[in-house]
């Protein structure tokens, strides 16, 4: 497929400085990064930013269109302030996009590094297990897992994490295998350095960069997948203000308040497109001929 980060070479700190410098010169990517930062700030400071309680509403004042007095973006199906719910929604939606990828990053990197470093039997056992999970199309695996575990934040995180562990483990494994055969690693081994030391000194530095960038590109995928699970009723449970779930619960009002119902979708779209553009920018910045 597209340029695999597995081909990364040994990279000095200077390399990352150069990457950042290149990234900073890409206005679109910087713009996207600013939006991402804005969304993260919005999530962190949601309780102070949101004008109202996202869980409290007046059923009598439900489904008011954007622009209603006191409710800048209108109210949802239970009369809760839409703006406040969208702001708070950034918390759960970003959480559901980032946390599974992050846990998958830890687990996948650990599995990949162990498999790549140990080689032989351990490698076969770990990577063939990964292959089994990799053999499922991602949506199918996520839906099947979420269907089996039942809805809920924790279950969704488990399901999505399991979806992303195998690809990350594969990347980590191939980078590690590549590094392991390098002369200086052989030399370090010969001089009696322990496995942990070698991994820490020589492997981690090379592996984490590429898989981190790869994982970044999964965040948007993960967020859309998580919102899809919520949409099917297999993800986050009410009354949590999750954008995917809001799309689901507002869907029945789509004929009367189309604009209102489109809002959570717009938020998902903005977030995922910003993450994608930012990662693209990062990737092309890394694409420096050494």
Partner 1 sequence: MKLNQLVGATAIALAFPLAVHAQGALRIAMTAADIPKTTGQPDQGFEGNRFTGIPLFDALTHWDLSSADKPSVLIPGLATSWKVDDKDKTKWTFVLRKGVKFHDGSDLKADAIVWNVEKVLRKDARHFAPDQIGVTVSRMPNLVSARRIDDYTVELTTKEPDSFLPINLTNLFIASPAHWQKKWDALGSVSDPAERAKQAWAAFAADASGSGPFKMARFTPRERVEYVKNEAYWDPKRKPRLDRVVLLPMPEASARTAALLSGQVDWIENPAPDAVPQIRQKGFSITANAQPHVWPWQFSFVEGSPWLDRRVRHAANLCVNRDELKQALGGLMEVPKGTVPPGHPWWGNPKFEIKYDLKAAQKLMSDAGFGPNKRLKVKTITSASGSGQMQPVPMNEFLQQALRACYFDVELEVIEWNALFTNWREGAKDPKARGAHATNVTFAAMDPFFAMVRFTSSKTVPPVSNNWGYFINPEFDDLIAKARGTFDDKGRDAALARLHARIVEEAPFLWVAHDVGPRAMSAKVKGVVQPKSWFIDLAPVTVQ
Partner 2 sequence: MFAYAIKRTLFTLPIMLGVSLVCFALVHLAPGDPLVSVLPPDASQAIKEQMMALYGFDRPYLEQFARWLARVAQGDLGTSIRTGRPVSLEIGKAVGNTLMIAALATLIGFVLGTLFGFVAGYFRDSWLDKAASAAAVFGVSVPHYWLGMILVIIFAVQLGWLPPTGAGPGGSEAWVWDWVHVQHLILPAVTMSVIPMGIIARTVRALVAEILSQEFVAGLRAKGLSESGVFGHVVKNAAPTALAVMGIQLGYLLGGSILIETVFSWPGSGLLLNDAIFQRDLPLLQGTILVLALFFVVLNLVVDVMQTTLDPRIQRA
Residues at the interface with partner 2 (CB under 8 A): 1-3, 128-129, 131-133, 135-140, 143-145, 147-150, 220-221, 224, 227-228, 231-232, 234, 244, 247, 251, 254-255, 258, 262, 265, 268-269, 272-273, 276-277, 280
With CB under 5 to 8 Å by kind, the binding choice for 136 among partner 2, partner 1, none is partner 2
Residues paired with 68 in a beta bridge:
71
Residues in contact with 179: Cβ distance below 8 Å, sequence separation at least 6, in sequence order: 10, 116, 185, 202, 203, 206, 207
With CB under 5 to 8 Å by kind, the binding choice for 24 among partner 2, partner 1, none is none
- Hey, is 81 helix, strand or coil? strand
- Minimum separation from the CB atom of position 92 to partner 1 (A): 15
With CB under 5 to 8 Å by kind, the binding choice for 252 among partner 2, partner 1, none is partner 1
Q: Does 151 bind partner 1 (CB under 8 A)?
A: yes
Output DSSP code: residue 65. Answer: P
- Minimum separation from the CB atom of position 148 to partner 2 (A): 4
Question: Measured from the CB atom, is 62 or 182 closer to partner 1?
Answer: 62
Residues in contact with 247: Cβ distance below 8 Å, sequence separation at least 6, in sequence order: 227, 230, 231, 261, 264, 265, 268
- Minimum separation from the CB atom of position 62 to partner 1 (A): 6
The helix (H) or strand (E) run that includes residue 57 is none
- Hey, is 71 helix, strand or coil? strand
Burial class of residue 147 (count of CB atoms within 10 Å of its CB; 0-12, 13-18, 19+)? middle
Other CB atoms closer than 10 Å to residue 60's CB: what's the count?
6
- Minimum separation from the CB atom of position 167 to partner 2 (A): 13
- Window 216 to 255, contacts with partner 1 (CB under 8 A): 233, 237-239, 249, 251-255
Smallest CA-to-CA distance from 261 within 248, 249, 245, 250 is with: 250
With CB under 5 to 8 Å by kind, the binding choice for 62 among partner 1, partner 2, none is partner 1
- Minimum separation from the CB atom of position 106 to partner 1 (A): 29
Joined together, the tokens standing for residue 192 give 């009696």
- Minimum separation from the CB atom of position 79 to partner 2 (A): 23
* Site residues, partner 1 (CB under 8 A): 56-57, 59-60, 62-63, 77-78, 150-151, 233, 237-239, 249, 251-257
């Amino acid at each position: 497929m597209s340029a695999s980060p597995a081909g990364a070479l040994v990279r000095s700190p200077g390399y990352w400085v150069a990457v950042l410098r290149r990234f900073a010169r890409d206005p679109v990517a910087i713009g996207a990064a600013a939006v991402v930062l804005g969304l993260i700030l919005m999530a962190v400071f949601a309780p102070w930013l949101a004008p109202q309680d996202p869980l409290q509403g007046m059923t009598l004042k439900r489904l008011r269109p954007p622009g209603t007095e006191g409710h800048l973006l209108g109210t949802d199906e239970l009369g809760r302030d839409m703006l406040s719910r969208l702001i708070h929604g950034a918390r759960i939606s970003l959480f559901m996009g980032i946390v599974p990828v992050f846990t998958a990053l830890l687990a996948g990197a650990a599995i990949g590094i162990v498999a790549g470093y140990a080689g032989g039997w351990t490698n076969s056992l770990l990577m063939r297990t990964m292959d089994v999970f990799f053999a499922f199309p991602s949506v199918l695996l996520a839906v099947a897992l979420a269907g089996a575990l039942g809805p809920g934040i924790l279950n969704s995180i488990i399901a999505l994490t399991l979806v992303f562990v195998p690809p990350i483990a594969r990347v980590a494994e191939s980078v590690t295998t590549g590094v392991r055969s390098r002369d200086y690693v052989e030399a370090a081994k010969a001089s009696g350095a322990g496995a942990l030391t070698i991994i820490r000194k020589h492997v981690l530095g090379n592996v984490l960069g590429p898989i981190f960038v790869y994982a970044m590109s999964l965040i948007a995928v993960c967020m859309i997948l998580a919102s899809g699970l919520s949409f099917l009723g297999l993800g986050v449970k009410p009354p949590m203000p999750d954008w995917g779930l809001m799309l689901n619960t507002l869907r029945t009002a789509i004929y009367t308040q189309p604009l209102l119902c489109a809002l959570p979708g717009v938020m998902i779209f903005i977030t995922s497109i910003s993450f994608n553009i930012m990662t693209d920018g990062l990737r092309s910045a890394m694409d420096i001929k050494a």
